[in-house]
Amino acid sequence: MFKSIFSKYLATFTVILVCCITTILLAVSSRISHESYMVQKETMDASAGSTAHIVGNYIEENGYDNIYSAFLDKETGFQGFLEYTSDTSRAEIYLFDYRGVLISTSDDKMLHGSRKAYLSEKARNVMSAGSGNYTISTVEGLFPSNHFNSYKVAYSDGRPLYVISSRTDYTGLVFNRDIVIVTVTVALWVFLAAMLSLYVVSRRTTEPLSQIISAAKSYSKGRFNQKIEVTGQDEVAELAEAINNMATSLKQIDDERNAFIGNVSHDLRTPMTTISGFVDGILDGTIPPEKHGYYLNVISQEVRRLSRLVNTLLEVSRLESGTDLKMTDFNLSETARTVLISLESKISKKDIDIDFINPEDDVFVNADKDSIHRVIFNLMDNAVKFTPIKGKITITVATVADSKKTEKALFVIRNTGEGIPKEELPHIFDRFYKTDRSRGLDKSGTGLGLYIAKTSVADHDEDLTVTSVEGEYTEFRFNLSLATVTPRAKKIIIKE
């Protein structure tokens, strides 16, 4: 029934407001009516009591039998007193003698005989005994319908005098129409103001949500260019900002995925085309037998290149799947020396000068040994590859104090050469990104080595950084946690 958030809000708050307003209306009306009822009752009690007191005093002075004529004599002013008391108390006053006969009243209809003017014996006995309550009653048939009553009994000459103060419209005391009208009017204005406020607030909430829904549908179709307009600083604005950031990330991932597919396709197609061409040439006789050995060697190199690419892609997949690290304590200095020895032939071929700085001889770390070995190999292999003939590579393995004054192991490798252009530095760790693509310095690389190195170091909660000055040098560095127990003879702190 309620499909939108706005309709649900509207229905919910309408029910709440109606219930609250109804409760307030009943409470206010009941309270005011009760107060009105009590005030009227006290007024009627006072009017009946004062009439009984004055008439009783007259009887004490002049005798009970003279009371009948006293109300006919205008000079006594008794009848005028009754009418005045009736006006001030907003109730009719009735006087009955000990027999229940009406002496006088402010009610013209009863005074002139259009109503029965007799107080029953039962009513007199009840009033005399003070055991009855005729607050809302016909007073044993005195009135044709229920009246709101108050009575007093005065005694003179041993005989009772009954005074009744009564009014017919007592329902107005219980349910005051004017009060209800005022309360309902105010409640309606409050309701309209609340509905208007709810409409504005709900729209401000639901409109951004509509944009979010539209953007989400667009993102599900692979279109990440749609942005959500962010206004305000509330939770909805934070959600919209988060979704915009997500869209930016998704677009970047999608671009990387497309580039990844294009690069993989290119890197697979090139050696496969070469292999296919040479094999076909050998099979159809285009390549003479004496050349078979040469081209088979080329085919073997391309197969190994394909194998390296597949192994690298498998390594990327393993890293991105979040494989658990096998943390052990090992000698980082020894690992660096081992990798350096494995690259000795390439270093010798280019006559590169190696400066290995290891002040502490051995630096032990707690990390995944295979992963860190792969990181150091990739960094050293790149350094050798891009260092010019007779260039220099500086490798530093030491212990340093980081920004939190915690001791860490430091690995730094710097090589001379052309360096990395400033505009390319932010992309150096992207998958398949090659800074030398236009220069053709790295024809065998896959463009995944630095990405793997960056990801591997990040898995250790550290960061691999790069600095470079064109025409001078390129430097990579990262930290690792030291081993729990580091067997070294001396400790030299090198400032970064």
What pLDDT sits at residue 437?
Answer: 43
Residue 265 lies in a domain: yes
Residue 181 lies in a domain: no
Residue 93 lies in a domain: yes
Residue 370's CB is within 10 A of a number of other CB atoms, namely 12
Question: Is residue 57 domain-shared with residue 162, that is, in the same domain?
Answer: yes
Structural domain range at position 369 = 324-481
- Angle at which helices 177-220 and 235-283 cross, to 10°: 10
Dist. CA 265–CA 109, nearest whole Å: 113
In the predicted structure, residue 97 carries a pLDDT above the cut 80: yes
Question: Is residue 228 domain-shared with residue 130, that is, in the same domain?
Answer: no
Spell out the SS3 assignment of the chain. Answer: CCCCHHHHHHHHHHHHHHHHHHHHHHHHHHHHHHHHHHHHHHHHHHHHHHHHHHHHHHHHHHCHHHHHHHCCCCCCCHHHHHHHHHHHHCCEEEEECCCCEEEEECCHHHHCCCCCCECCHHHHHHHHHCCCCCCEECCCCCCCCCEEEEEEEEEECCEEEEEEEEECCCHHHHCCHHHHHHHHHHHHHHHHHHHHHHHHHHHHHHHHHHHHHHHHHHHHCCCCCCCCCCCCCCHHHHHHHHHHHHHHHHHHHHHHHHHHHHHHHHHHHHHHHHHHHHHHHHHCCCCCHHHHHHHHHHHHHHHHHHHHHHHHHHHHHHHHCCCCCCEEEEEHHHHHHHHHHHCHHHHHHCCCEEEEECCCCCCEEEEEHHHHHHHHHHHHHHHHHHCCCCCEEEEEEEEEECCCCCEEEEEEEEEECCCCCHHHHHHCCCCCCCCCCCCCCCCCCCCCHHHHHHHHHHHCCCCCEEEEECCCEEEEEEEEEECCCCCCCCCCECCC
Residue 331's CB is within 10 A of a number of other CB atoms, namely 20
Report, as an integer, the average pLDDT of 211-234: 76
pLDDT tens digits for range 435-462:
544 344 555 555 677 888 888 888 888 9
Residue 164 lies in a domain: yes
Question: Is residue 313 domain-shared with residue 368, that is, in the same domain?
Answer: no
Domain count, the chain: 3
Question: Is residue 116 domain-shared with residue 232, that is, in the same domain?
Answer: no
**Which residue among 270, 299, 322 closes a domain?**
322
Question: Is residue 462 domain-shared with residue 351, that is, in the same domain?
Answer: yes
Question: Is residue 266 domain-shared with residue 386, that is, in the same domain?
Answer: no
Compare 266 and 109 and report the one with higher pLDDT. Answer: 109
Report, as an integer, the average pLDDT of 46-69: 83
Question: Is residue 444 domain-shared with residue 345, that is, in the same domain?
Answer: yes
Question: Is residue 34 domain-shared with residue 47, that is, in the same domain?
Answer: yes
Residue type, 6: F
Q: Which of 113-117, 424-428, 476-480 has the lowest mean pLDDT?
A: 113-117
- Percentage of the residues of the chain whose pLDDT score is greater than 70: 82
Report, as an integer, the average pLDDT of 209-230: 77
Report, as an integer, the average pLDDT of 389-409: 87
Residue 353 lies in a domain: yes
Question: Is residue 351 domain-shared with residue 426, that is, in the same domain?
Answer: yes
For position 395, which CATH number holds?
A: 3.30.565.10
**Which residue among 118, 149, 174 closes a domain?**
174
Question: Is residue 127 domain-shared with residue 256, that is, in the same domain?
Answer: no
Dist. CA 477–CA 486, nearest whole Å: 21
Question: Is residue 159 domain-shared with residue 10, that is, in the same domain?
Answer: yes
Residue 179 lies in a domain: no
Residue 417 lies in a domain: yes
Arithmetic mean of pLDDT over the chain: 80
Report, as an integer, the average pLDDT of 135-163: 86
In the predicted structure, residue 357 carries a pLDDT above the cut 50: yes
For position 301, which CATH number holds?
A: 1.10.287.130
**Which residue among 307, 322, 337 closes a domain?**
322
In the predicted structure, residue 177 carries a pLDDT above the cut 70: no
In the predicted structure, residue 496 carries a pLDDT above the cut 50: no
Compare 195 and 389 and report the one with higher pLDDT. Answer: 389
Residue 380's CB is within 10 A of a number of other CB atoms, namely 23
Residue 490 lies in a domain: no
In the predicted structure, residue 368 carries a pLDDT above the cut 70: yes
In the predicted structure, residue 231 carries a pLDDT above the cut 90: no
pLDDT tens digits for range 63-96:
888 887 877 776 667 888 888 888 888 888 888 9
For position 125, which CATH number holds?
A: 3.30.450.20
pLDDT tens digits for range 262-290:
666 766 777 788 788 888 888 888 888 88
Q: Which of 7-11, 158-162, 377-381, 477-481 has the lowest mean pLDDT?
A: 7-11
Question: Is residue 41 domain-shared with residue 160, that is, in the same domain?
Answer: yes
Q: Tell the residue number behind the tokens 């393995």, with chain if given.
A: 397
Confidence tier at 322 by pLDDT (50, 70, 90): low
pTM: 0.48
What pLDDT sits at residue 486?
Answer: 56
In the predicted structure, residue 362 carries a pLDDT above the cut 70: yes
In the predicted structure, residue 492 carries a pLDDT above the cut 50: no
